[in-house]
Amino acid sequence: MTDISQPSVVLIGRPNTGKSTLFNALVERKKAITSEVAGTTRNVVSASCSWQSKEFTLIDTGGLQTKSVDKIEEDVQKQVEVAMKQADVIVLLADIRTGPTALEIDIAKMLQKSDKPIILAINKADSDRWNETQSDFMKLGLGEPLLVSAIKGRGTGDLLDAICEHLAATEKDENGSIRPQVKIGVFGKPNVGKSSIVNAILEEEKVIVSDIPGTTRDATDIAIKGKRHDFVLVDTAGLRRRTKIKDKIDRYSNIASHKTIKEIDIALFVIDANEELSKQDMQIASEIAESKKGLVILINKWDLILEEGKDELEEDIIAKLVRFYRFRLPFLSWATMLFTSATSGKNIKRIIGTARKVYQERQRIVDQESLDAWLEKTVAKYPPPSFRQKKRPEITEIRQVGKNPPYFLITAKGKQPIKRPYLKYLEKELRREFGFEGTSLTIDIRQ
């Protein structure tokens, strides 16, 4: 018997990707029937599963198909849809030996409209020789896939870790609604005021501070309960340059901070307004940009700047500094910027609210009709350039294939490649039309 009070995780995918074999491997007993014949699983099968003290119900489903051949298969599809609606986490299982299929592209489009956490797992990766094929599945727009082998048990621990991480981030409120848990990391070089910012946020938010179990890094995780979202605020050790790492404790803290960048949703990048941007600031900024996270830049110690510029209007000082930081950090032109002071409380109340807005921008999905209209007018305004008097490339389609961060795939034809400056133009116009303030975008091209 399975406990209906437990969170649930559903395995979905097209027929014969090994869902039932993976199900049996994860629950550590043979409950689902497995066979080389596609479509063997006709009924939804469930069992309790435990990993790292986390209990959940794992659900195995029949193979998804775009067209049902008979009444039984039609019923299977309905069962899968019900299981997906009831599940807290969805695992899409694909087969690495076939590569991403047209059916899986259709399934991925459907999943992108869901507000449920999605894990993309690629089965039958029995050896390291399949590692290079992993990137082929990025086109599904569901994030970085996990390689597993249900038969050999390879990667199943990583998959269970990912499931438990998502379950921790989808606790339900008293009404049974999922409350997304947004992880916010505070970054910056040592002594720019990160901990002062965190302490000021906690005082303004009037939260109950509690230790989050399972934290093994040298960073403080603090839970904040909001109206619609729950937040985890991570106060990291200051990121140091390699040449300034003097001992093992510093080295460990630095590794922990770099690891945190990969795990968070939103980065708060703290800069000391009284100091010139250093190489270390630029290095941190570059690492955050490469991580494709949401970003709020906090220009801290604002009260000291105002003291120095008593003869100028505050609005003029802000405008001048915004131009300066946009010029010095052109690769972060999309980032949201706040001028803060932990001492005076300037804009402290706005930090969590701004991070919430950035998180919402990362979830934004643009409907296809709006994208088509945008593409037509954008290309008409400035078509892809041609080189050496050859025929210019032609963009035929743009689709959004992912979110968090928003991910767009452009289809083009022609022998001339579409180069990076034109992709930058498209990104600028996308932001102008649809927003996406505070979040990175990914634009790939298929030509």
Q: Over the stretch 240-262, which tens digit does the pLDDT of each residue have?
A: 444 444 444 344 344 445 667 87
Q: How confident is the model at residue 30 (pLDDT cuts 50, 70, 90)?
A: very low
Chain centre distance of CA 67? 31
CA contacts within 13 A on the Cβ side of 144? 8
Tokens of 41: 């699983």
| CB distance 184 to 232 below 8 Å | yes
Taking the C-alpha atoms of residue 87 and residue 7, their distance in angstroms, rounded to an integer, is 7
Tokens of 240: 């140091």
Q: What is the pLDDT of residue 389?
A: 66
Please classify residue 361 by burial: count the beta carbons closer than 10 Å to its beta carbon, then call 0-12 exposed, 13-18 middle and 19+ buried. buried
| CB distance 60 to 53 below 8 Å | no
Chain centre distance of CA 198? 23
Confidence check: pLDDT of 190 > 90: no
Taking the C-alpha atoms of residue 251 and residue 309, their distance in angstroms, rounded to an integer, is 39
Give, as one character, the DSSP assignment of residue 53. Answer: T
Confidence check: pLDDT of 178 > 60: no
Q: Lowest mean pLDDT of 29-43, 230-244, 262-276, 331-345, name the range.
A: 29-43
What is the location of CATH 3.40.50.300 in the chain?
8-168, 181-362
| CB distance 47 to 22 below 8 Å | no
Q: What is the pLDDT of residue 373?
A: 96
Q: pLDDT, tens digit, for every residue of 4-25? A: 457 889 998 888 899 989 998 9
What's the pTM value of the predicted model, to 2 decimals? 0.63
Place of tokens 């009444």: 71
What is the location of CATH 3.30.300.20 in the chain?
368-446
Confidence check: pLDDT of 209 > 70: no
Architecture of the CATH domain 368-446: 2-Layer Sandwich (3.30)
Pick 34 or 142 by higher pLDDT.
Answer: 142
Q: Lowest mean pLDDT of 94-98, 385-389, 422-426, name the range.
A: 385-389
Neighbouring residues of 71: CB distance < 8 A, sequence distance ≥ 6: none
**Overall CATH class of domain 181-362:** alpha beta
Confidence check: pLDDT of 272 > 80: yes
Neighbouring residues of 92: CB distance < 8 A, sequence distance ≥ 6: 12, 13, 104, 107, 108, 111, 118, 119, 120, 121, 140, 142
Tokens of 9: 């995780």
Give, as one character, the DSSP assignment of residue 217. Answer: S
Nearest CA to 436 among 421, 446, 445, 426? 426
Q: Mean pLDDT over residues 112-133, rounded?
A: 85
Distance (Å) of CA 253 to CA 183, 246, 258, 285: 19, 11, 9, 18
- Cα dihedral value 219, 157, 122, 80, nearest 10: -100
Taking the C-alpha atoms of residue 417 and residue 299, their distance in angstroms, rounded to an integer, is 40
Share the mean pLDDT of the chain: 79
Q: What is the pLDDT of residue 238?
A: 45
Distance (Å) of CA 115 to CA 89, 180, 296, 390: 10, 9, 23, 45
Taking the C-alpha atoms of residue 244 and residue 254, their distance in angstroms, rounded to an integer, is 11
3-state secondary structure of 407: strand
| Strand ordering across the sheet containing 336-339 | 219-225, 230-236, 181-187, 266-272, 294-300, 336-339
Taking the C-alpha atoms of residue 225 and residue 96, their distance in angstroms, rounded to an integer, is 40
Nearest CA to 15 among 91, 103, 133? 103
CB-based burial, 60-99: b 16+ in 10 Å, e otherwise? bbbbbbeeeeeeebeebbebbeebbeebbbbbbbbbbeee
Q: Considering the domain 8-168 in this protein, what is its CATH number? A: 3.40.50.300
| CB distance 65 to 88 below 8 Å | no
